[in-house]
Structures are given as C-alpha cells and as structure tokens.
Amino acid sequence: MESSYEAHYQKSIQNPTAFWGAAAEDCHWYKKWDKVLDDANTPFYRWFTGGVVNTCYNALDFHIENGRGNQVALIYDSPVTRTIKKYTYSQLRDETAIFAGVLVAKGVQKGDRVLLYMPMIPEAVVAMLACARLGAVHSVVFGGFAPKELATRINDAAPKVIVSASCGIEAGKVIPYKPLLDQAVDMAAAKPECRIIFQRPEIAADLKPGIDFDWRTEMATAKPQDCVPVAATDPLYILYTSGTTGVPKGVVRDNGGHMVALKWSMQAIYNMNPGEVYWAASDVGWVVGHSYIVYGPLLKGCTTILFEGKPVGTPDAGVFWRVISEHRVKTLFTAPTAFRAIKREDPDGKLMGKYDLSCFEALFLAGERTDPDTLHWAERKLNVPVIDHWWQTETGWAIAANCLGIQKLPVKQGSPTKAAPGWVVKVLDSKNKEVKPGEIGALSVKLPLPPGTLPTLWKNDAGFMRSYLEDFHGYYKTADAGFIDEDGYIFVMSRTDDIINVAGHRLSTGGMEEVLSDHPDVAECAVLGVEDSLKGQVPIGFLVLKAGVKRDPSEIEKEVVQMVRERIGPVAAFKLATTVKRLPKTRSGKILRGTIRKIADNEEYKIPATIDDPEILTEIETALQQMGYAGARKPKP
C-alpha cells in the first residue's frame, strides 16, 4: 500500500529526484530549482541547484501568511531561572526581523559569518533565525566552551560579528561567558568587528566601548529587515564537530536541501503536524538543537520548546514530566543518557504519577546506543512507542528510524529500525565488500547522501574527502560499526574504534554494554578495550548503580562478569568490572570511552573541551589503578 514504509523507501531510492522534488513542493521558493539532484561534480553532490529560497521565511513568515501568526511558535521553559515565556509566530518573526536589523547596522551581509556563543535563551533562537533571514552564515558554539576551543572556531569561521550573553546557568552554577569570550578573541588570529552581548540579570558583563554592544540598546533603534533570497546551495550554517587531529571540522549545511529534508522529517519520522507541540531536550549548540529545537519544528509550523535545565536536579527527576504535562507535548526527543539519569534517581517512576501525560504520544532517543533496559523501562512507565533512531552531526537528520508518520514497524531492542527513506545503508569490510546479514562491519552510506546532509566541510573539500569518502569508495563513512539483520534492521554497536580485537576475535563493546545494562541494579555502564600483552586487547567495565541500591558493589561486579560469560561466551574475556559514582561525559551526554581507554593504556590524553565535569577523570584514574592499570600519564595542557 502507498502509505507503507516500504513503498516510501523504494520510491526514495529508485527515483530520488521525484521523491525529494515532491517533498520540496511543500516549501516556499522564490525560484524553483533547475535540478533536484546535481551530480555534475561528484562526489560533491548538490540538491536543488538553481533554486532560490530563504530558510527564515519558511520557518516564520510563511506560516504567518498562512494564518498561524497567533499560534505559539516557541515556549521558553527555564526551571533554573523559574521563567516561562511564550512567543507567537508573529512575535518571533518581529523579534527576528529587528535583530536582523541590528546585524545589518553592524555591517553583516549575505555570506558573512556570525558566531553565536549563547546559553539556552530565546535570544539564541532569534539570532540564528536573524542570520538565516539575511543569508548570513551562523556558527553556534556551545555556551561555556573553553577559550582555546572557541578561538579555533573563530579562526576557522572568521566571523564578522559575535553574539553572546553575559552568562549561562548550569546545575545551579552561573558561568560568566564574557571573560571566556574575551580570552578566546585575544587568542584568535581572526578578529570580529564587534560583539553583541545580551545582559542576563544573574551577571552583568563589562562591555568594552567601541567593540561590545548591548543587545537591548541596539534592538531599540534597529530597523526590521525583510528576508534576503539566497541560492538553495548557499550555506545556512557551520557547525563544528571534533576532529581526530584536534582541529574541529566545520560541517556545512545548505539552505534548500536542509529545509526540504527537515520539514519532511517532522511528519514522516516524528508524526508531527502543524500546531502540535514538539520538544527536543537538547542544546542549540549541538546538531539536535539546530535541527529539532529551531529549524525542523518551525519549518513544519509546530510549537517548539526551548528548555534551560537538566533531566534531574532542576529541581528533580520529574521535570520532564512537568514540561510535557504543562505544555501538552506530543513528542519528546532526547538522549538515552537523560533517561538513564531519570531512571537512576526515580527507578520506580513515582514522579510520573504527579502529572497528566495523556497528551504524550512518542519518545525518540538518539545520541548514543539505547540499551535495552532503558528502552524497556521507558516503555513500561510511559506506555508510548519508544523509538531509538540513529544519526550524526554530519547527517543533520536520521539515517535510520522507525518512521511513525509513515508506518510504525515492530521494534527490535538495540536497533534504530530500518534505513529512513533516502538512505542506502550497507555493512562493509576493510576491502569495501558488503558482508553477510548479521556480520559486524563498518556501517556505510551509499552516495549520494540525501538532502539535508553535509555537502562538504567549511573551506575544506580535501578534509571532507579524507574524513568521510576515502576509506570506502562510493560510500560515506559513518565511523560506526554494526550489522544489518535478515529483516533489514540496522544495529549500531559502537564506533569503529570501539570494536576490539580479543585474541583475534572482533567483538563489540556495545554488545557487552547491553548485557551489563540488563542487570537490575545497574543504572548505566561503559565497556572499553584496553591493551593486554597476551590477548592484544581485553574489555573492562564501569558500572553506575541505581539510586537506593544497598548491595555490596563487588557482588554486582561478579554478577555482570558472569552475565557476559553466559550471554557472549568466554571468548569475550570479560573479567573486570568496577563501580564508580559517575561516568565522564560530554555536555551532550556521550560517555568519553576514548579518554578512559587512553588513561588505562597510560597514553597521553587531552581533556575534551566538551567534558561535563573534568574532576570525574580523577575518580576514573583511581578506579583503573585499583584494577591494575597505571593511568599515570598526565593530560596534555
């Protein structure tokens, strides 16, 4: 039947021009495209060449002209400041048009870069949309990033203007941004012409005359700006992701393909319709924030939530349920680590009972693998579909998902279901050959990538080729390892460098983590391979126990070792597990397995700029020493 997943998928692969051309008809174009898919310069494919658009127009003005001006577009919910503020589409458009005037007054034109170093406040969304309105290229850097990391991004993007705020608020701490920004600009070779600073009441930043300008003062005198038409292939934004050389990679997103793919995905994948409330519990500094806090929901005409808080501690593990109930959220998208934190603090889900969740229809998880225990806990407690889906900063939207808006497929634990329409996913060996169903290899995507994905890296075509296209000819390298079963379900087991070689056997640390997380007392875990003189590598495990567990941790450690032996076999050589209070993570919730491995192997390591709390590494080093691993080499400065 035409509405089935299989029908959609086959059409998208057999005739991508017709498939994406039809999706593009749902958007506003100043000028229609000449070609849907332009393959004149492979492998640099481009979508909708010749088309002229404006992303901000499609996200705001288009809906106002179609009668949605009084609908709420953005809900700012900040438990850390006890603030809730709502913007209609008309109000958000007006704020955006005026701030676009602020940027124009500072000399910003189409094609100029504007770097945003912002906390989770409405002004961050306004600044992003204002850049899009002018055809300027925004580059959002996660607020609170260290000066050195911020300086490298300033150098690469060479922004004309930087937009920031006086501070961010995290876990009860107020973090002044201006001193960090000043240090970064001092370190950077590229110097912006000015900085626009939004003063928050928690801290007032010192403004330097002639270089720093107050947001509110500038807004008071600015002239609203209309949307500037741009080529569909012009860049909308640059988003930096860490590179293996230490130099961040500037992922480019174009206007046309991005707009088409994200608007299409809101209904096809998330089953969202105009006027419904969608919440991506992430940060505007990450790709999820770009795609599904700002652009996707607004392009579709939904109401989106901007949440300044944490899943636990602001004030408790019930805050997600409060937000869903109060704002009538239909669909939530967050990281598995958020639900592990909630499950750890409130394992019985008692706090859910305080709220009316009858509006809630689906939970989507992404960012790292969803362990079966967390999946089943969420399913039992929420009684809604819990959908694991797989994507990356580079792809901009889901490679694999259970597309609820097309056809809900049966869920298989540990799998993000099947390739989304537009994606041809294969599992390859080191010789570029496709492996058999069920065999682990490198998950790769056949070119061309669908619209909305990265066309290249910012001013670095050679780096784009080297990082993504050279290892597997004709394919995009995801750097994720996994397998596809006989039903076409994709299983993402780990990063390719997390496939360990134990005495000649290739094993997935992700598979072992699945076993550990299935223990009733384990809240979350990490398994990594460390050097071993006999076997080459052996796996070791770290456990974080659920709140309220009173048992001796050593007994639980013995039990998980036995569980791995029973479920995977003695070949896994899994003999060591230790309990820690916390795992080191990035601010987006990813466990820093690579850093732990370097400590264990006594290698030099650099404390990642994205780490949530560097002090956790001291506890990890102590635990490794107790397990017999030195971890004595200090981090690089």
Write the pLDDT tens digit of every residue in 185-199: 999 999 999 999 999
In angstroms, the CA 396 to CA 263 distance is 12
Residue 615 banded pLDDT, cuts 50, 70, 90: confident
Q: Which residue has the higher pLDDT, 130 or 621?
A: 130
Q: What residues have CB less than 8 Å from 200, skipping those under 6 apart?
A: 119, 121, 165, 166, 167
**How much is the pLDDT for 574?**
87
In angstroms, the CA 54 to CA 150 distance is 28
Lowest mean pLDDT among 329-343, 439-453, 476-490, 620-634: 620-634
**How much is the pLDDT for 167?**
96
Left if phi > 0, otherwise alpha if psi is -120 to 50, otherwise beta: which for 378? alpha
The answer, yes or no, to whether residue 605 has pLDDT greater than 80, is: no
Total count of residues recorded for the chain: 637
**How much is the pLDDT for 634?**
45
Q: How many CB atoms lie within 10 A of CB 178?
A: 22
In angstroms, the CA 348 to CA 329 distance is 22
SS3 content of the chain, % helix, strand, coil (to 5): 35, 25, 40
| Residue 568 and residue 507 in contact, taking contact as beta carbons nearer than 8 Å | yes
**How much is the pLDDT for 461?**
96
The answer, yes or no, to whether residue 213 has pLDDT greater than 80, is: yes
In angstroms, the CA 326 to CA 226 distance is 34
Q: What is the mean pLDDT of residues 113-138?
A: 98
In angstroms, the CA 234 to CA 455 distance is 11
Question: How crowded is the C-beta side of 87, counted as CA atoms within 13 Å?
Answer: 23
In angstroms, the CA 90 to CA 536 distance is 62
First-to-last CA distance in the chain? 60
Residue 598 banded pLDDT, cuts 50, 70, 90: confident
Write the pLDDT tens digit of every residue in 494-534: 766 666 666 555 566 877 888 898 899 999 898 988 877 66
In angstroms, the CA 333 to CA 382 distance is 14
Write the pLDDT tens digit of every residue in 227-283: 999 999 999 999 998 654 456 789 999 999 999 999 999 999 999 999 999 999 999
Residue 130 banded pLDDT, cuts 50, 70, 90: very high
**How much is the pLDDT for 243?**
53
The answer, yes or no, to whether residue 144 has pLDDT greater than 80, is: no
Q: What is the pTM of this model?
A: 0.84
Which amino acid is residue 34, in one-letter code? D
The answer, yes or no, to whether residue 1 has pLDDT greater than 70, is: no
The answer, yes or no, to whether residue 76 has pLDDT greater than 70, is: yes
Q: What is the mean pLDDT of residues 151-180?
A: 93
- Summary mean pLDDT of the chain: 91
In angstroms, the CA 404 to CA 448 distance is 25
Q: Where are the beta strands (DSSP E) in 107-146?
A: 113-118, 137-142
Left if phi > 0, otherwise alpha if psi is -120 to 50, otherwise beta: which for 594? alpha
| Residue 387 and residue 356 in contact, taking contact as beta carbons nearer than 8 Å | no
Q: How many CB atoms lie within 10 A of CB 606?
A: 11
For residue 35, give Cα distances in angstroms to 54, 233, 261, 492.
Answer: 18, 11, 16, 34
Write the pLDDT tens digit of every residue in 524-583: 898 988 877 666 678 889 999 998 899 999 999 999 999 988 777 676 788 889 999 988
**How much is the pLDDT for 632?**
42
What are phi and psi for residue 278, nearest 5 degrees?
-120, 140
Tell me, letter by letter, the H, E, C secondary structure of 445-492: EECCCCCCCCCCECCCHHHHHHHHHCCCCCEEEEEEEEEECCCCCEEE
Q: What is the mean pLDDT of residues 429-437?
A: 91
Element (H, E) at 216: helix 215-221
In angstroms, the CA 22 to CA 541 distance is 49
| Residue 77 and residue 87 in contact, taking contact as beta carbons nearer than 8 Å | no
Lowest mean pLDDT among 125-129, 372-376, 415-419, 578-582: 372-376
**How much is the pLDDT for 519?**
93
Q: What residues have CB less than 8 Å from 552, skipping those under 6 apart?
A: none
Q: What is the mean pLDDT of residues 588-600?
A: 79
| Residue 614 and residue 607 in contact, taking contact as beta carbons nearer than 8 Å | yes
**How much is the pLDDT for 498?**
63
Q: What is the mean pLDDT of residues 67-90?
A: 97
The domains located in the chain, with CATH, are: 5-309+389-482 (3.40.50.12780), 503-626 (3.30.300.30)
Percent of the chain scored above 70 by pLDDT? 93
The answer, yes or no, to whether residue 601 has pLDDT greater than 50, is: yes
Q: What are the structure tokens assigned to 580, written together? A: 């820690």
**How much is the pLDDT for 405?**
97
Residue 621 banded pLDDT, cuts 50, 70, 90: confident
**How much is the pLDDT for 422?**
98
CA angle 200, 307, 405 (to 5 degrees): 150
Helix 593-600 with 616-626: angle, nearest 10 deg? 40
